[in-house]
Each structure stands twice: as structure tokens, then as C-alpha cells.
Structure 1
């Protein structure tokens, strides 16, 4: 009877809070992920401990540690979480029944025809799933995913933290360009040697070790040591600066094909471009994924694998 009473009165939400506290390592981080106050998280934990009549968390440790009973309750909660998602999976036999919102961090100006085709495919297969796309820098996306908030990121990347899963989607090929107002725009018989003294527009993420550092390595290897006349962290501003003649710079070719300034920009030597920059999908290795988050990752990985 006592066991039945606990089962009848224990709120699943309290167990879910325990899972998040364990995964995030602190009450404040759990509150941020759940989008509620720290006080609400603490109260939920207190109620759970009162229901079970046992201490579950060792306070004042970073990250928070669980007691033996806390670990046992965590295993029970994780089992329940798996069973709940299996209920959703049964609904997922008909993809039209899947619904909810997926928050995805994406790098700006990612252009790839197959990526667009995937979004068309996903919308048609899962019409009731809402995509919440938030644009950030690749560095910030990896930092957020590493902290398990949110679950999914799509961005440029060269080095992946150990705690993050990743799958290559495609590569963006970068070429050197000049703009309509630059002296090289109408020049003939251009070669790589023609660029040795030219000023450059640089994206901030071209620094050594950052996602676009292969561009800097290429310039150094080929003696392209002209002065940097402007820096920017925004691809649109880089295009503007190149168009207005501030200097030459490296841009992804598929992005240029999608801009109205394509006819006002000239691709420069070398003919085969400067560097291939990989674009990956990222998700945390230990963060619990919802069914629709798992479906998105599963579908896009399979789509690019086909």
C-alpha cells in the first residue's frame, strides 16, 4: 500500500527536474535550461525529497553530486523518460502526428542546395514540427552545445569538444573575390602573383585556430601578406566592403551565387579556390534528446548520407 501510494502521488515533473539538475550540474544551470526560476527548481527538488523521504542531492558541491538514493532515483527517472519517448515513437509511426518545437542554433549565411532540399523534405514529412532557428557565430554555437543549451547546432567547425557528437553535412568552398569598385575588377590576365600587394578584408574567425583559419594559412603559404584594411564578423559586411573596393577577401562560392551582388563581384585566382570549410551538425553526447530532436538529427544525417 505504501508503494502504491508513492506511485499514485509522485509527479513525473519532479523526476524530470532531477534528471536536468544531474545533467547540468547545478540548480542555476537547470533553471536556465528549463526556463524557470532557480527557486522553482529548488522547490521541485525539495518536494521530491519529501515525497521519497530521502536526501537526493549533496548541496554545496560543484557540480552537484547525488546521494546513493539520488542515483537510484535518477536511474528510475531515466527509465521513465525512455518509456515516455517510446510512447511518442508509437505516434511517430505516422510522421504527421509528431508535433512540437525544435530549437536549433545555426551559423549565418550557410548556403547549400542539399540543405535547402532537406528542409523541404523535413517540412513535408513532419508538417506539425516547428523549427526555432536562432543565428549565432560558430564559436558561440559550439559553446552553447557544450553547455547542453540547446540540443542541436549547425555551424562551421574544425575542432570539436570531446563531449559533443558531430556529423559532417557538407563543405563550403571559399574563393578570393574583388568588387566592382576595386582596380582588379576589370583587369586582364590575372594570376596569384597579381594579388601579392593587395589589401584584404578579413573575417574575425580567420584567426589561427578559429573556423576560417585555413584561409589565413593559405595566404601565408602563398605570400599574400597585404595589409588588412578592414575586419568584420559579418559575412554581409564583408561582401559590402569587398564590393566597395576596400580590399579583396575570401567568400563561400554558394553564398555569392545567392546574393544580388553576384555580377558585381569577381572571382580571383587561384581557380580552384582557397579552402574547404566543413559544416557539421552538433549535439551533446549526454543531453537527453526529445523524440523530435532525435528525428531531426536522424533525418538530416541520413539525408546527407544518401
Structure 2
């Protein structure tokens, strides 16, 4: 004889406080209760209590928290992936509810890494605006990881960023390739010196991008620095190209920048190129989009124009050496 009592699982969509899911998303993304509380502008006990309530309601351990340890359980990871889809769909509801005429106008949210400097992107934006002058844009600059997350959660229409690990839910196309060199600023002892070799850089302090590590997206750049034995103190890091450039210019240490971006500063005497001069490390910058997103017509048009540019332009022309 079957149990006449209702299954708690079947009641979950009706009983669950959806705010708990939103809080859980932020906890996982921020890798901690304290950081999540700061992002949500809530008190730490409130966020901690929300996690406890969610675990009790689901009867599953979602996160293991111990001193110096934050680990999402397999069940917690499954919940996170599902929650991303849920909130991504909810965030797109205004697009689905717009009248047909409004969709033609449309709004495009683009998430970009800070060092996206591309004449091809500029040309597409110019042409798109000329064709659709009433379309509007939001350009959000963030870390490459946050760019991908924003696209995954459908908070951004498109993303342009470095890619360390591809997410199976997203699609990617190489937009352009840039090359990195090492530089110092006018206040540095090596500025203006010629005939330098790698031995002159040994032990120098350095500044870097946050992803400039052997285990991250700028691994080739980190390997270049290691080959030059620049093993002094890492004085500062930033996810912003402009801030890394500022740190180099101010003499805090040597640092790496894309060659095509630093060239104007070299010409104006603001930066000095350091060895190695041959075989600079190459980094691919990708266009990223979510095929499960419900695009408005402006978003779809922008995506199609970017993809058309990529497909019709030889990689040699998108190679910014």
C-alpha cells in the first residue's frame, strides 16, 4: 500500500523560498559567506542562516566550510548549475514580454575583459549603430571569469574575454589574437637602456594581471616571466589593463602588456620594451555567447554581425602582432 503522505520533493517548487537560491548562487560565486554578505549588502549571520535553511529544506549538504576550506559538494554543484539556468531565464523575461516593435530597438549588454582593444570590434560597433541607431548598449568591464559567468547566467548578451577553461554550456569563437611583451616605466632603472638580455631582468620585482599565473588564462605570459627569471616580489596585481599600465608607468615593477596596446606608449616615451623580443607569447581573445539565451533582435543582430566578421576575416588579419 502506498504512503498517503505527500512527497516532500514534489512540494519543493511550491514551498521553496527562491531567495534562498539567489543567496546560494552568490555564496558559491564569491567562495564564502562573508564575501557573499558584502555583495548582497546583508549581515553575515543572515547569509549563513539562508544556507542552513536551504540545506535543511533540501536535506543535502551543499557546502563544506572549515577554517581555510570552502568546498561545494557534488549535490551543491548540481544545485548551482540548475540555479544558474533558473535565474538566467528569469532575468530574460523582460525580453520575452516586450512588444514586437520594441524588440527591433533592443538593448545589448556586452561584458568585456579590460584589455579588449580591437579595431575589428570597433568596426562592427560602428556598422551596427549605423544600421540600428535606436539600439542601445551597456558595456560592462570585468575579469574574464566574471564575463563568462555573466554570459552563463544570461546577465550579459555577449562576452569578449580570455578563456582558461571552456564551459560546456557556452559557445566560443576566437575573435583576435594578441601578443604580450615586458615593459618598464620611466622611473625604472632599465628604462631607455639598449642591449639588454634576460639576465638583466633577473630578480626584478613585477606587477601583473590577476590571471597572470601558471594555472590561469595568462599562463604563456607567466611562463615568459619565469623564463626571464623575474622572480622578485609581486608588488601589485589588477584585473584592469589601465591599472596594470599605471603600475608599470609609476615604476612599481616590470610588467606585461599586449604589444599592440603598448605601442603608442612606447612611441610617446611612457613605456620601454624589455626582452625577450623574439617569440612573444600569444593569447586568444574569444567571443562568448549562451546558445540557450532568448535574444532580442538587437542582441541577435549584434551576435550575427560579430560572428560574420570572424568567419569572413582571415585569422592573419586578426593577429595583432
TM-score (norm 1): 0.65
Structure 1: distance between partners of 2:240 and 2:156: 23
SS in 2 for 1:209: coil
Instruction: Please name the residue that 2:117 is paired with.
Output: 111
Which of these residues, 226, 230, 234, is aligned with residue 228 of structure 1? 234
| Alpha-carbon displacement from aligned partner over 1:36-67 (angstroms, at most 9, x marks no partner) | xxxxxxxxxxxxxxxxxxxxxxxx88659xxx
Equivalent residue runs for 1:261-272 within 5 Å: 262-272=268-278
Aligned pairs for 1:42-121 within 5 A? 63=82, 98-121=104-127
Give the Cα separation in 2 of the matches to 1:31 and 1:121: 38
Instruction: Give me the CA root mean square deviation.
Output: 3.3
Q: Which runs of 5+ in 1 are unaligned?
A: 1-20, 33-59, 65-80, 92-96
Gaps in structure 2 of 5+ consecutive residues:
1-12, 24-56, 59-78, 84-95, 313-321
In the alignment, which residue of structure 2 is the partner of 1:239?
245
**Equivalent residues in 2 for 1:64-213, closer than 5 Å:** 98-213=104-219
Tell me, in whole angstroms, the C-alpha distance in 2 between the residues paired with 1:301 and 1:150: 17
Aligned pair in 2 of structure 1 residues 185, 137: CA closer, same or farther (>3 Å)?
A: same
Q: Is the 8 A contact 1:201 1:230 kept in 2?
A: yes
Shift of 1:27: 5.3
Instruction: Give the count of matched residue pairs.
Output: 231
Rounded to whole Å, the distance in 2 between the matches of 1:135 and 1:232 is 13
Q: Which runs of 4+ in 1 moved over 4 A?
A: 26-32, 60-64, 258-262
Name the CA distance, whole Å, in 1 between partners of 2:279 and 2:232.
18
Question: Could you say which residue in structure 1 is the equivalent of 2:31?
Answer: none
Residues 226 and 30 of structure 1: CA distance in aligned 2, closer, same or farther (over 3 Å): closer
- How far apart are residue 177 of structure 1 and its match? 0.5
- Superposition deviation, residue 178 in structure 1: 0.9
CA distance in 1, matches of 2:257, 2:230: 16
Per-residue CA deviations over 1:149-173 (Å, capped at 9, x if unaligned) read 2231111223211111111100121
C-alpha deviation, 1:230, in angstroms:
2.5
How far apart, in 1, do the equivalents of 2:268 and 2:163 lie? 26
Question: Structure 1 residue 295 and structure 2 residue 291: aligned?
Answer: no
Q: CA deviation at 1:31?
A: 9.4
